[in-house]
Structure 1
Amino acid sequence: MNKTYIPTKQSNTNTQWYLIDAKNQTLGRLSANIAKILRGKNETTYTPYLENNTYVIIKNAKLIQVTGKKRHQKIYRRHSGRPGGLKSETFFELQKRIPNRIIEKSVKGMLPKGPLGRKLFTRLRVYSGDRHPHEAQQPQQIYLV
């Protein structure tokens, strides 16, 4: 009788680091691919309820692109929790101020909600420039089309 292989936490001990260049990439398509890699859907041992040891490094976040008029029409909102504490800014303003937050917010929305999604989100590293401090991990470069 054949038995289905079910991975456990102990069976997935190897850590994999991926490096993705966000230069001239479309925000939604890039974020969907990042979320898929963080979930482990590109691995043969994918299990929905387990986290894998995959880390993703994004560089050149300040050079991300959006289609259409979203550069000036897309609005990012945050609230301090105090009365009148709603702050709003467009994609263009946020890209000048904190370009990392655009990709982080997009990927976080595509990860599962709950403890697993919060744990997976901690494995994402976003850098606005071309440099990152993770050379010792020998990340594997991924080219997305």
Structure 2
Amino acid sequence: MYTQKSFVLKPAEADKKWFVVDAQDQIVGRLATQIADILRGKLNPKFTYNTDSGDYVVVINADKVKFTGDKWNAKEYNWHTNFTGGIKTRSAKEQLEKHPELIVMEAVKGMLPKNTLGRKQLTKLKVFAGATHDHAAQNPVEYKLK
């Protein structure tokens, strides 16, 4: 009797590409889900869930993203300074003024696995507030969002 073996992608065999995503006038959550799929490699036909088979993503115009509803005022970003009583909070509007790239970074981070593989996949995300980026040498291909 013939049994077919399952395909398992080895990390060395993964063909990693570079993509540029323009975040201008994109809704943050919908943008983040598509970026997370690219980083994980779910668009590749050889996707293996326990292997880092995803591609690199460069996001430009992160300062021109949109939220639906009243999230600009209601959504909060929290962090801790590691000092006693050091919890800090910013609204989404304040975060857009100070660190707009962190809005996209945190949204994508929340959609990746919460383990060492997810942290490794997050390092392949490069976010820039303006229209220029530092990764022209990698010849990234423009990715059209759905």
TM-score range, shorter chain: over 0.9
- Cα deviation, 1:53-84, whole Å, max 9, x if unaligned, reads 51000000000000000011111111112221
User: 1:9 deviation in Å?
Assistant: 2.0
Aligned to 2:82: 81
Amino acid at match of 1:138: N
- Distance in 2 separating the partners of 1:113 and 1:80: 22
Number of aligned residues: 144
Match of 1:25 in 2: 26
Does residue 10 (structure 1) correspond to residue 9 (structure 2)? The answer is: no
Q: Which residue of 2 aligns with 1:98?
A: 99
Q: How far apart are residue 37 of structure 1 and its match?
A: 0.6
- Aligned alpha-carbon RMSD (Å): 1.1
Structure 2 counterpart of 1:119, which letter?
K
Partner of 1:142: 143
Distance 2:140 2:35 in 1: 14
- Shift of residue 5 of structure 1? 2.1
Matching residue of 2:63: 62
Cα deviation, residue 4, structure 1? 2.5
Once the two structures are TM-superposed, the CA of residue 100 in structure 1 deviates from its matched residue by 0.4
C-alpha distance in structure 2 between counterparts of 1:76 and 1:18, whole Å: 27
Q: Secondary structure at 1:49's aligned position in 2?
A: coil
* Cα deviation digits, residues 106-134 of structure 1 (max 9, x gap): 11111001110110010000000000011
- Paired with 1:17 and 1:10, the residues of 2 have a C-alpha distance of 17
Q: CA deviation at 1:143?
A: 1.4
TM-score by length of structure 2 reads 0.94
Structure 1: state its 5+ residue gaps: none
Query: What is the aligned-residue identity percentage?
Result: 37
What is the DSSP-based 3-state SS (H/G/I as helix, E as strand, rest coil) of the residue aligned with 1:56? strand
TM-score by length of 1: 0.95
Aligned with 2:12: secondary structure?
A: coil
Divergent runs of 4+, >3 A: none
Structure 1: distance between partners of 2:68 and 2:77:
16
**Structure 2: unaligned runs, 5 residues or longer:** none
Deviation at 1:25, TM superposition (A): 0.1
